[in-house]
Amino acid sequence: MPTKSQPKIKRSFQTAKGMRDILPEDQAYWEKIRKVIRNLTRTYGFKRIDTPILEDKDLFVKGIGAYTDIVEKEMYTLRTKGGEKLALRPEFTPAIMRAYLENGLSSLPHPVMLYSLGPIFRYERAQKGRYRQSYQANFEIIGENDPILDAKLIQLFFSISKEIGLKEIITQINSIGCSRCRPAYRRKVVSFYRSRKKQLCVDCQRRLQQNPLRLLDCKESKCMQIAAQAPQTIDYLCEDCNGHFKNVLEYLDELEIPYILNPYLVRGLDYYTKTVFEFWPEEEEGRQIALGGGGRYDNLIKLLGGKDTPSVGFAMGLDRMINLMKAREIKVASKNRPLIFLVQLGELSKKRSLGLFEELRRAGLETASSFSRDTIKSQLRIANKRQARLALILGQKEALDETIIIRDMVSGSQEVVPLAKVVKEVKKRLKNN
């Protein structure tokens, strides 16, 4: 009988809701996308930065905004034994800005271009494509106002997508103005919605007080119908924001990047100014599974205690990119190097094969073995299953004679060679094939 100090043992455990394992069979997709990102970020001039998963909770409250869904509903927060209030990062941007300020990166030549890869945590309603632990690739260009950078980031998203075989993606884009033009627009939105308050969903009725622009992208159908008549930001932009947006669109035209203007796109984070954008698979528009999103955030660094530092960035949802690759049946080429399978029998051979395995690996040969299997037959069966090109058989006799058998797994022919020459002999055979 379990006592108080001995909790009843659960029969089986499962991942926490909204969390999932990434199994070996899926790793090739993750490898592929990470590799493409690593290569392209180098070409574009980004440097990698890794920040902790846990940060001061208030960093996100202040950075993202107290009345956003992420802060109000979705953050995983905890109090440490020492009394600190921390949060699992629900996104990267405020954390990167903290690191930029804390580590004196502001003294580097600008723009400072940083990218990160890693998990984020949001307590969201779990469903396919929406997880409580998901993975982002995040890109920030800090310290430049030039609209060409907004377009360059969008171009980067498309370059990555193309390299992994994803086409038919569309950019939704909008400008939500700056601290000069937005207050007047905000007032217009509030007065438009005030007379329609009763027709709104409960969330929007509350948002009307705290975060009225979010009413525009509510996905409730009754709210969407009302939003269709609401004033549009684009009509209230100041000259600077208007010019900036026009330039971004011209650059996208020049790059032949597909986009549509979405006047209701405001994004769920408070730090954005001017350009905001999201990327959607063409066929899944409206299903709330954007592949990525971002925009300008010219005031965030100042808000977090730094100098006025206009910046722009975006994040790509890796889980969703991979889901789409699978849905569209995009193959990731597995490494097609010929496999050498090491077969051994008896104690002495087992010992010899340890060093031999290392020697073959160092010579750049893809080697596998099954040290725990006993018979040569069962080991050869595994070699066959793994489509090994050659098997190297080290029996008791061979171990004593310092020789080894090379078996061609396709033709079945075998040859005994001196152990000291095995690497050379293997390479010769692979070359001849």
Chain contacts with ligand HAM (rule: CB under 6 A): 91-93, 122, 124, 130-131, 134, 136, 138, 140, 290-295, 297, 313-315, 317, 319-320
CB of 93 to ligand HAM, least distance (A): 4
Residue 24: cis peptide before it, omega within 30 degrees of 0: no
**Is the distance from CB of 247 to CB of 223 less than 8 angstroms?**
no
DSSP string of 169-190, one letter each residue: EEEEEEE---TTTHHHHHHHHH
Number of Cβ atoms within 10 Å of the Cβ of 368: 13
Whichever of 248 and 422 has its CB closer to ligand HAM, that residue is 248
Structure tokens at 412: 């079945």
Whichever of 91 and 270 has its CB closer to ligand HAM, that residue is 91
CB of 318 to ligand HAM, least distance (A): 8
Q: Is 41 exposed, middle or buried (0-12, 13-18, 19+ CB in 10 A)?
A: buried
Whichever of 134 and 369 has its CB closer to ligand HAM, that residue is 134
**In angstroms, rounded to a whole number, what is the distance separating the alpha carbons of residues 369 and 46?**
40
Whichever of 136 and 171 has its CB closer to ligand HAM, that residue is 136
CB of 380 to ligand HAM, least distance (A): 44
Residue whose beta carbon is closest to ligand HAM: 317
CB of 29 to ligand HAM, least distance (A): 15
CB of 247 to ligand HAM, least distance (A): 19
CB of 98 to ligand HAM, least distance (A): 13
**In angstroms, rounded to a whole number, what is the distance separating the alpha carbons of residues 304 and 142?**
14
**In angstroms, rounded to a whole number, what is the distance separating the alpha carbons of residues 233 and 88?**
33
Whichever of 100 and 314 has its CB closer to ligand HAM, that residue is 314
Whichever of 223 and 289 has its CB closer to ligand HAM, that residue is 289
Determine the straight-line distance between the first and last CA of the chain, rounded to whole angstroms. Answer: 65
